Amino acid sequence: MKKLFIISLVLIMVNNVLAQDAIKEISNSKLRENSIDLRISYVNHSGSVVQVKSIPLLINVETGGISGKIIYNYYPNYDYSFFFSIGGMSPKVSVDNISEHTSTIGSIMMGMKYFPFKSIQDNTFRPYLSLGMQMLIGTESNVEILNIESHTESAMGVYGAIGTELLISSRIKFFTEMGYNLVTDFTVEIGNKKNYSGFEFALGLGFMF
């Protein structure tokens, strides 16, 4: 009985040490200064009805959609990180093979994240606030009967969000984020919209180094 008690005590101590080492390994990943993230977002833009120029026909255009981004993050300390991202989405409008509008919205953004809860013991769950400045670059080509058009322009905006990072291991993180884009109008419609302000929900995976 005494031997069984000693063996159980040793196993508990070993398990405790291994658990502490695992937590320490994940916690140390926070000290890594860089990460590269892949992010998928749903951008909530409402639909609109437009009239094709050459033909008296109404069509419905859905300008909401999925966008993708590649993000570089720099972590100088426990409280803040700075990021730079590039990405885009490509809404497409077609009308019964009579007309096709192909639009591409690219984005360039830089900003920072603030992590207010640095006191979390194992540092695996990290809520944050995010704020960034962005530029949207819109390109559209319109092909209609007897009418072909193409144009490109840009718009400026800001982005604010709340989110959280979850450290899965010492090098891999998962994150989710919900925010709002506030963007100036395009001079000419891109994807049959001049303004791309709206809510955004994102999921992503990152590699820390």
Domains of the chain, residue spans: 2-208
CATH number of 2-208: 2.40.160.20
Structure tokens that stand for 147 in this block: 């009418």
Cβ within 8 Å of residue 167, ≥6 positions away: 26, 29, 30, 123, 124, 125, 126, 173
| For residues 175-203, average pLDDT | 89
AA identity, residue 188: V
AA identity, residue 44: N
Distance CA 191, CA 189 (A): 6
Give the global pTM.
Answer: 0.72
| For residues 28-39, average pLDDT | 78
The pLDDT of residue 188 is above 90: no
DSSP-based three-state secondary structure for 127:
strand
Residues in the chain: 209
Tens of pLDDT, residues 50-70: 444 445 555 555 555 788 999
- pLDDT value of residue 65: 72
Cβ within 8 Å of residue 55, ≥6 positions away: 98, 99, 144, 145
The pLDDT of residue 157 is above 80: yes
- pLDDT value of residue 15: 45
What's the chain's Rg over C-alpha atoms? 24
The pLDDT of residue 170 is above 90: no
User: Residue 85 CB: number of other CB atoms within 10 A?
Assistant: 19
For tokens 């302000």, the residue is 197
| For residues 131-145, average pLDDT | 86
The dihedral built from the CA positions of residue 118, 120, 126 and 128, taken in this order, carries a sign that is negative
